[in-house]
Amino acid sequence: MPVPFLDVRLQDKTRTEIVSLITGLIDRAAFIGGVEVEGFTKEFGAYCGGTCVPVANGTDALILTLRALDIGPGDEVITVPFTFIATAEAIGNVGATVRFIDVDPATYNMDVRQLEKAIGSKTKAIMPVHLFGQPADMDAILDIAKRRNLKVIEDACQAHGAEYKGRRVGALGDAACFSFYPTKNLGGMGDGGAIVTSSPELAAKIAQIADHGRVDRYRHAVEGVNSRLDSFQAAALRVKLRELPARNERRRQIAARYNLGLAGHKSVTTPRVAPFATSVFHIYCIESDRRDALMEHLKGLGIGCGVYYPIPLHLQPAYEKLGLKKGSFPASERASERVLALPMFPEMTDAQANEVIAAVKSFT
Ligand SMILES: *Cc1c(COP(=O)(O)O)cnc(C)c1O
């Protein structure tokens, strides 16, 4: 029985509800702003415990947050090379410079032991990524940031609903950035994103930049951009936000089944979740010395799998300018050679998960 890597098709009940909401929006020609966008903004803010600003996508969320924090040319932002390019790209897009530090080999999140020595006179902010749905060690990061007067921007694009010491990501640092790309834990039917912050002033500043720097209809305080969440996406996301807690719980159940089924299997390591973290398993990654052969084996059996991420950012042509050679970040490089993501989506059945476990175990 083949098992897909993921399946983002809507379930019948959700589909019916979203289609009827969108039909209503079409009938009223309510495409921009309106009740759905306002409702989602309130509800997602409340869910994360902060003030929400909806934007066009997760990359914009990161860029607009950096801009609103006045980070730009001449400034440095510390982040990790084992992530999706958008994290670092946002820093470059505001004219600031990326300063990479390595990840922890167990959790793939920012190795806080390397943070202090990477901070220099130009450092303005730290951008931890809650990779694969697991929160980074926020207290350690926030403690250093406070002492060194730095901003902390969470890249929470893979971690909707994840918890750090029982607190939901989103309002832990100065701001958290989310993506609603269809494959994310909370995914729309196209692009979408949001910022959540505990500072109403910062939220207002981000919202202003995202809306052409507008003060009112005809007056513009600064040059901004156009970055908004459209009403169709907001309508779909409102419905799906209600289902998010149950869907994240189901992901954890599947992860637990995988962990148990693969425990003690010599050739693979199952994901390590730090004691302070509750992961929402955006991605479930195992590690193997023979990752590429294992991937071929699984694909041959019809089991969907993928590599996140095969090339760490410092080795991408886009970051050649930083002059960072192979060997600069051993944990990120080792992870990029060893990780393999297994099928993970809430609709997956226990039988499908068992099939995946059996397929991994049959690799010799
Ligand atoms: C998806 C993602 C983003 C960007 O989100 P988009 O909505 O695609 O722009 C940023 N950072 C990380 C870690 C992501 O996974």
Summarize pLDDT for 347-360 with one digit per residue, the tens.
999 999 999 999 99
pLDDT (0 to 100) of residue 50? 97
Inter-CA distances, 37 with 25, 237, 249, Å: 11, 9, 26
pLDDT value of residue 364: 85
Residue with the nearest Cα to atom 7 of ligand 1?
A: 58
Mutate to test the pocket of ligand 1, among 59, 66, 110, 177 (most ligand atoms within 8 A of CB): 59
Task: List the residue whose alpha carbon is closest to atom 6 of ligand 1.
Answer: 58
In a 3-state reduction of DSSP, which class is residue 88? Answer: helix
Predicted local confidence at residue 229, as pLDDT = 98
Ligand 1 atom with least separation from CA of 83 = 13
Compute the distance from residue 157 Cα to the ligand 1 centre, in Å.
Answer: 5
The candidate with the shortest Cα–Cα distance to 303, out of 364, 255, 251, 362, is: 362
243-361 falls under which CATH superfamily? Aspartate Aminotransferase, domain 1 (3.90.1150.10)
* pLDDT tens digits, one per residue of 222-280: 999 999 999 999 999 999 999 999 999 999 999 999 999 999 888 899 999 999 999 99
The 10 Å CB-count burial string (b at 16+, else e) for 54-93 is: bbbbbbbbbbbbbbbbebeeebbbbbbbbbbbbbbbbbbe
Q: Residue 89 pLDDT > 90, yes or no? A: yes
Quote the ligand 1 centre to 178 CA distance (angstroms).
Answer: 7
Q: Which two tokens stand for residue 206?
A: 């981000």
Question: Percent of the chain beyond pLDDT 70?
Answer: 100
Q: How many other CB atoms are found less than 10 A from the CB of residue 204?
A: 13
Fold of 12-237: Aspartate Aminotransferase; domain 2 (3.40.640)
- Side-chain half-sphere of 357: how many Cα atoms within 13 Å? 19
CA of 85 to the centre of ligand 1 (A): 8
pLDDT at 333 over 90: yes
CA distances from 27 to 14, 24, 230, 301, 316 (A): 20, 5, 16, 47, 47
| Confidence class for position 175, pLDDT limits 50, 70, 90 | very high
Parse the chain into domains and list their residue ranges: 12-237, 243-361
**Ligand 1 mean position, distance from CA 106 (Å):** 22
Sheet with 277-278, side-by-side order of all strands: 167-168, 163-164, 277-278
Ligand 1 centre and the CA of 27: distance in Å?
A: 32
What residues does ligand 1 touch, defined as CB less than 6 Å away?
A: 57-59, 83-84, 86-87, 129, 155, 157-158, 179, 181, 191, 193
Instruction: Using most ligand atoms within 8 A of CB, pick from 55, 62, 87 the residue to mutate for ligand 1.
Output: 87
User: If you measure from the C-alpha of residue 154 to the centroid of ligand 1, how many angstroms do you get, rounded to a whole number?
Assistant: 12
Model confidence at 136, in pLDDT bands (50, 70, 90)?
very high
Q: Which of 109, 179, 225 to mutate to test the pocket of ligand 1 (most atoms within 8 A of CB)?
A: 179
Under the banding of pLDDT at 50, 70 and 90, the label for residue 1 is confident
Token output for 327 = 């060997």
CA distance linking residue 339 with residue 334, whole number of Å: 9
pLDDT confidence bin for 120, thresholds 50/70/90 = very high
pLDDT for 267? 85
* 230-241 residue pLDDT tens: 999 999 999 999
Nearest CA among 99, 105, 56 for reference residue 79: 99
Question: What is the 362 CA–ligand 1 centroid distance (Å)?
Answer: 34
57 CA distance to ligand 1 middle (Å) = 8
Cβ proximity of 8 and 183 under 8 Å: yes
| Spatial distance between the Cα atoms of 132 and 120, rounded to a whole number of angstroms | 29
Q: Which pair of tokens denotes residue 80? A: 């990790």
177 CA distance to ligand 1 middle (Å): 9
Question: Is pLDDT of 100 > 90?
Answer: yes
Contact indicator for 211, 53 with CB cutoff of 8 Å: no
Ranges 132-141, 145-154, 258-267, 348-357: which has the least confidence = 258-267
Give the per-residue pLDDT at 11.
84
What is the rounded distance in angstroms from the CA atom of residue 172 to the CA atom of residue 135?
10
Q: Which of 130, 181, 230, 282 to mutate to test the pocket of ligand 1 (most atoms within 8 A of CB)?
A: 181
Q: Positive or negative CA dihedral for 173, 149, 109, 122?
A: positive
